[in-house]
Amino acid sequence: MALTQLTDGLIQPGTIQQSDLSSSVAANISTALAVANSAASYANQAFSAANTAVSDPIDAYARNTANSAGVYANAAFAVANSGITDSWARDTANSASNYANGAFAVANTADQKALSAGDYANGSYFAANTADDRALNSGEYANSAFGVANSASSNTLSISSYANSAFGVANSASSNTLSISSYANSAFNVANSTSSYANSAYSTANNKLNSTGGTISGDLSITGNLTVLGNASTIAVTDIKISDPLIQLAANNETSDSIDIGFIGHYSPDAGSTKKHTGLFRDATDGLYYLFNNYEDPSFDTNSPNNVINVANSTFRIANLTANIITDTISVRGYDPINHTNASFNIANSGSSYANSAFGVANTADQKASSAGDYANSSFVTSNSAGNYANAAYVQANTANTNAATADQRAVISGNYANSAFVSANTADSKSVNAGSYANGAFNAANTRLSTSGGTMTGNLVISSANLNVSGTSTFDGISIFQQSTEKIQTKTGATGTVTHDYSLGALFYHSSISANFTANITNVPTTNDRSIVVVLILSQGATAYIPNALQIDGSSQTIKWINGSAPSGNANQIDIVSFSLLRVSNSWTVLGQLITYN
């Protein structure tokens, strides 16, 4: 027999062919049809004979015919009973819907023919007026056949009911299958959504700063404090801006007095063969301040410089200072020139000529003292400027360190959330919903992290055991604290004509083998208004001294306003330091210049 097939979640009825029936059932049905037809034929003949019956022979014929009809009716009854049984119908119920309908039609036909046979038989009985018990029996048998046919119809209806019930169950199973498919699709969609969030969190986390260090390519603003705990902080910037009015050095030296305090510059008089140092510091041994140069100490060229300057070192030299000095006491090579001035004044009172002479000498000494004070003040201002740069570099390093550590921690947290979301997403059940929540949390957390392209950090940033490199402009608001600081020196050889001094590489330039007076062209200078920029040229003079007697800013000539109102002259075989203060106000430049000589 054909089987019922499931396609697309719906149950389709099968088809039962007559060839699927057993040969005995098919034969019985054929026999029933033949006998019923034959009974109808004999009944018709009996009816016809009854209508023409006028003598006993015909009556006898009618009786015989009626008996024959009863026999045939009995045969039809037996065939009907053996043709279709309830047990066979139940065995084939799952696939017999179409066949049952066909059997029902055949049974109805047999029933109708049986009824027709009964009718003809009854008509024969009444027409012949000789119907006896056999004729009655024929009617009863015909009625019995009718009942059996009706029973077969009832069984057929029952079969149809079972088939319809099976069809309903199959449709219910199909509906359940569709419902299961819907739930599966829902779980699949949730899993895909979770995967999308996890991928987004993973991508965002990859753009965050790692705890082991990294590079921020854009601007970085830190509203909290910056602490750098490494050995060195390198700030390669074109302009350091510090809003602090005071620069603090040796912040960790408040419980002792064991280290020297000050600032140091690097230079080389022979194109890098010898590395020398100059600066201003307070000696922890005697508490005096020293302005020095020519000092050689290899530790100052490393990331772990010495905290003590050895004044007994054979290379240590006291540097010359040109400044105006205002003071109550002064010591020049162990004596106070004020006392000698007073003595001269007393001697001058003893006589007019001596007084005039002493007065002249005193005036000369006073002028020199005033000149010395001016140079001292200028050096002090320059020292303070260097200290400001040092403090700015230190604060910037601390800030970057704190930002790097915080960004690293948040990137690690973001990675953990992303991994958790990825694992949860693989379950494709209620855990996938939880994984989606975790992925959302990781995505939100990653968005609050500091991007490598720049941003603003509101908390503190601590960089532990690492260096901070800044390659843009650094702006500091608040107090800047530096433990040590250094500044790069750019070397120039054989200056003559117009010499380019690239401010983006540094603000200190060491000149050797100078050929003639030259024009210093300062390039890549920031043009922000209300800013002061200091550029220092260290001139190692030969037998003939030369100076930068003209100045340009990015190729545009500027007027130099020299200290004391006149251009200085260089000093042969000495170290001359020329400093230019570039003041940017109202979109125009004012250039202040001064020259200090060191022997």
581 located within any domain: yes
**DSSP letter assigned to residue 141:** H
Q: Are 326 and 299 in contact (CB under 8 A)?
A: no
Query: Which neighbouring-strand residues pair with 539?
Result: 511, 576
Which domain-ending residue is among 428, 447, 480?
480
The total number of structural domains in the chain stands at 3
214 located within any domain: no
Same domain, 326 and 374: yes
CA distance 470 to 220: 10
Q: What is the pLDDT of residue 353?
A: 66
CB contact set of 216 (below 8 Å; sequence gap of 6+): 209, 400, 403, 452, 453, 454
Which domain-ending residue is among 184, 211, 236?
184
208 located within any domain: no
**DSSP letter assigned to residue 208:** B
CA distance 169 to 283: 102
Among 585, 577, 586, smallest CA distance to 507 is for 577
User: Cα 435–441–445 angle (5° rounding)?
Assistant: 145
Q: Are 472 and 221 in contact (CB under 8 A)?
A: no
Q: Report pTM.
A: 0.34
Q: 3-state DSSP call for residue 592?
A: strand
Amino acid at 355: A
How do 474-476 and 588-598 pair as beta strands? unpaired
Measured CA to CA in angstroms, residue 294 lies from 261, 315, 540 at distances of 18, 6, 12
3-state helix, strand, coil in the chain (%, to 5): 50, 20, 30
Measured CA to CA in angstroms, residue 483 lies from 57, 179, 360, 382, 486 at distances of 151, 72, 48, 19, 11
Q: What is the pLDDT of residue 480?
A: 79
Same domain, 298 and 177: no
Same domain, 391 and 475: yes
288 located within any domain: yes
Sign of CA dihedral 153, 156, 158, 161: negative
CB contact set of 4 (below 8 Å; sequence gap of 6+): 11, 12, 13, 14, 94, 95, 166, 170
Tokens of 99: 């066949």
Q: What is the pLDDT of residue 592?
A: 97
Same domain, 175 and 287: no
Same domain, 55 and 154: yes
- Reading the chain (599 residues) residue by residue, the pLDDT tens digits are 333 333 343 333 343 344 444 455 456 556 655 655 665 566 566 556 545 544 445 455 545 655 665 565 565 555 445 544 545 545 554 554 555 466 556 556 655 665 665 666 566 556 555 545 654 565 565 566 566 556 655 655 555 565 566 556 556 655 655 665 676 677 667 667 766 776 777 777 677 777 777 788 788 888 888 888 776 677 777 777 788 888 888 887 888 888 899 999 999 999 989 999 999 999 999 999 999 999 999 988 888 888 889 999 999 999 999 988 888 777 776 667 777 777 777 776 666 665 576 567 667 766 766 676 677 677 677 667 766 776 776 777 677 667 766 766 766 676 666 566 566 556 656 665 665 677 677 677 667 677 777 778 777 777 776 778 777 777 777 787 877 888 899 999 999 999 999 999 999 999 999 999 999 999 999 999 999 999 999 999 999 999 999 999 999 999 999 999 999 999 999 999 999 999 999 999 999 999 999 98
Tokens of 438: 């975790």
Amino acid at 176: N
Same domain, 41 and 135: yes
How do 455-457 and 575-585 pair as beta strands? unpaired
200 located within any domain: no
Same domain, 495 and 476: no
Same domain, 473 and 345: yes
Same domain, 526 and 453: no
Q: What is the pLDDT of residue 367?
A: 76
Tokens of 351: 């006589």
Measured CA to CA in angstroms, residue 139 lies from 68, 206, 246, 425, 509 at distances of 12, 99, 135, 80, 140
205 located within any domain: no
Which domain-ending residue is among 480, 514, 535?
480
559 located within any domain: yes
Tokens of 465: 């055991």
Q: How many Å separate Cα 343 from the centre of its chain? A: 81
Q: What is the DSSP string of 364-426?
A: HHHHHHHHHHHHHHHHHHHHHHHHHHHHHHHHHHHHHHHHHHHHHHHHHHHHHHHHHHHHHHT
What residues make up the domain containing 555? 488-598
Same domain, 376 and 244: yes
CA distance 4 to 193: 39
Within 426-504, where are the H helices?
Answer: 430-447
201 located within any domain: no
Length of the chain: 599
Same domain, 237 and 381: yes
CA distance 65 to 585: 143
Position of tokens 């062919």? 17
Same domain, 384 and 236: yes
